[in-house]
Amino acid sequence: MKKKTSTGLKIICLNRKAGFNYFFNEIIEAGIVLKGSEIKSVRSGKVNIAESYAVEKNGEIFLINSHIPIYKEASFSNHNPYDERKLLFNKKEINNLIGKVNQEGFTLIPTKMYFKKGKAKIAIAVAKGKKHYDKRQTKKTRDWNREKARYFRKSS
């Protein structure tokens, strides 16, 4: 009899551009505070976090510029698609992140949003921006790996 090996993760959206534009130092999982119409829209899978980032306001971390479209069935109690959304960290994590952002020049970039055991979670990367020449090097190695894979496929 085969065992079920499900991790319980259902990925909603990915920020694929983040890996190309930033060096990741560490990735932290956080909960996200959503309203009723927002969670309904998230469950339908129409979320965009490609241009979003996280900032500190009054000792809390907020997600800025994430797009969760309006939920048509919510009528008068709908939400603003570009609202700021609070991220759930404990106090020690918040102080650690604020210190890294202020002193070491890191930024907080969301990499993916997913459901874990029915709760909406977001993976936040503590990242540093790449320069133009770093991006060229990334592109060159990616092209080389693709070419290498083609060569090995043809040879075998």
The pair phi, psi for residue 84, each rounded to 5°, is -80, 135
pLDDT the model gives residue 73: 81
Q: What is the pLDDT of residue 150?
A: 92
Instruction: Name residues whose C-beta falls within 8 Å of residue 55's C-beta, 6 or more positions apart in sequence.
Output: 61, 62, 64, 108
Helix-then-strand count for the chain, H and E: 4, 7
Report pTM: 0.79
Q: Could you tell me the mean pLDDT of each successive run of 10 residues in the chain, 156 residues long?
A: 62 89 92 89 88 92 91 80 90 92 89 92 91 85 92 86
Whole-number pLDDT of residue 115: 92
pLDDT, one tens digit per residue, over 31-62 is 999 988 888 888 888 899 999 999 999 989 99
Which domains occur in the chain, in start order? 9-130 (2.40.280.10)
